[in-house]
Amino acid sequence: MPKPAPTQQLIDGLLKGDRLALARAISRVEDDAAEAARIVRGVFAQTGRAHLIGVTGAPGTGKSTLVSALAERYRAQGLTVGVLAVDPTSPFSGGALLGDRVRMTGHSGDAGVFIRSMATRRGTGGLARASADAMLLLDAGGFDRVIVETVGAGQAEIEIASVADTVVVVEAPGLGDEVQAIKAGLLEIADIFAVNKADRKGAGRTVAALEMMLETGGAAAQVRSIFHHGQRMAMEAAASETDAEERWPIPVLETVAVSGGGVDQLRDALERHWAWLEGSGARSAREGRRLGHMLQTLVQAEVLARMERTLPPGLRSDLVEGMMRRQIDPYSAAAEMVKKLSG
């Protein structure tokens, strides 16, 4: 087996546009938080240039196909595109799915497009951390457009896409009641709606429903802001952004990703939003929110790891045993544990 490349070599390589070095660096970032820290430190000064695009939506809306079609349009313009497909429950990581997708989408052999799937098994915290790191690596790797695609059915997954510069929410008609329901969490984060599979029955109804919701609920939803979990930093950033954001009229577009229908219009809307972000000052507000979110994720992980290290041995299992005998309830047990941590 060849010796693994030193970290600095990977950093130098990815900054020079070496795709293999980039792929390896993303794998390290995914596998190992300590390596992630070294690599991100080495590339961070070269980030902040790409347009970061989040694409999310329920399973079955055709997000992946739409992202591939979009990447193609960007390539036709001469822009380079990095794609990060995040699926926390997928058994595939990097290898198989990546290969299939590159072949499927005809991007194989084109160094101007890089598609990477990410499926860490380390729970939601680890996935958020690794995804944010990988986006920085793609940005530092020199891609003009960096797309992160997540399944918009879990709160944690939606959040990964929601910190992008521009958020595209993909809907589709006829997916059955459960899927079709326009999710409030998705409505709040969308800068652009794409009703994909627009050649199917019911597409007009989906478009109309979205437009109605935007008219009636849009303003209120924006004030409620992207983060509902009380992260002060994010709230502050969102508040400072609200004035500017009111001027962006959220478009509802129809696309047929498989045939390429409407994809030019989607690309145009993305470019318009990018220009609007720059012009309105919202771009730096969003970057602040994104970096604040990243800081929060990293600090929380460290605080929780420290908690684990300082926990008196046996305390947890004693408390669980007490709960099983109904001698202590979960809230009192938690208070006990927190007291021991402070002392």
User: Which of 24, 289 has the CB closer to its own copies?
Assistant: 289
In whole angstroms, what is the distance from residue 275 CA to residue 159 CA? 23
- In the bound state with its own copies, the residue whose beta carbon lies nearer, of 107 and 183, is 183
- Please, what is the minimum distance in Å from the beta carbon of residue 268 to its own copies? 26
CB of 295 to its own copies, least distance (A): 5
Q: Which is nearer to its own copies, 60 or 260 (CB)?
A: 60
What is the number of other CB atoms lying within 10 angstroms of the CB of residue 193? 27
Residue 249 tokens, joined: 């009229």
User: Nearest distance from residue 256's CB to its own copies, in Å?
Assistant: 15
* E strand or H helix that includes residue 210: helix 203-224
By beta-carbon proximity to its own copies, the closer residue of 103 and 306 is 306
Q: How far is the CB of 116 from its own copies (least distance, A)?
A: 17
Return the number of the residue (3 or 229) whose C-beta is nearest its own copies.
Answer: 229
Q: Which is nearer to its own copies, 61 or 269 (CB)?
A: 61
- E strands, the chain, in order: 51-57, 81-86, 113-118, 145-151, 166-171, 192-195, 252-254
Work out how close the CB of 233 gets to its own copies at its nearest, in angstroms, rounded to a whole number: 5
Q: Report whether 19 contacts 114 (CB < 8 A).
A: yes
**Within a 10 A sphere around the Cβ of 230, how many other Cβ atoms?**
7
Looking at the Cβ atoms of 228 and 272, the one nearer to its own copies is: 228
- Strands 113-118 and 81-86, bridge-based pairing: parallel
Residue 64's φ and ψ, nearest 5 degrees, are -60, -45
Q: Burial level of 130, CB count in 10 A (0-12/13-18/19+)?
A: buried
Bin 113: left if φ > 0, else alpha if -120 < ψ < 50, else beta.
beta
We find the least distance from the C-beta atom of residue 306 to its own copies, in angstroms, to be: 8
CA distances from 321 to 314, 318, 329, 337 (A): 11, 5, 11, 14
In angstroms, give the least distance from the CB of 54 to its own copies: 15
CA geometry: angle at 98 spanning 96 and 100, to 5°?
Answer: 70
> How far separated are the first and last CA of the chain, in Å rounded?
49
Question: 249 vs 314, which CB is nearer to its own copies?
Answer: 314
Residue with tokens 């399973």: 59
| Shortest separation between residue 76's beta carbon and its own copies, angstroms | 26
CB of 77 to its own copies, least distance (A): 28
Q: Which of 71/128 has CB closer to its own copies?
A: 128
Measuring CA to CA, how many Å separate 82 from each of 23, 89, 139, 320?
11, 22, 8, 46
Query: In 109-170, which ranges are continuous DSSP H helix?
Result: 123-140, 155-162
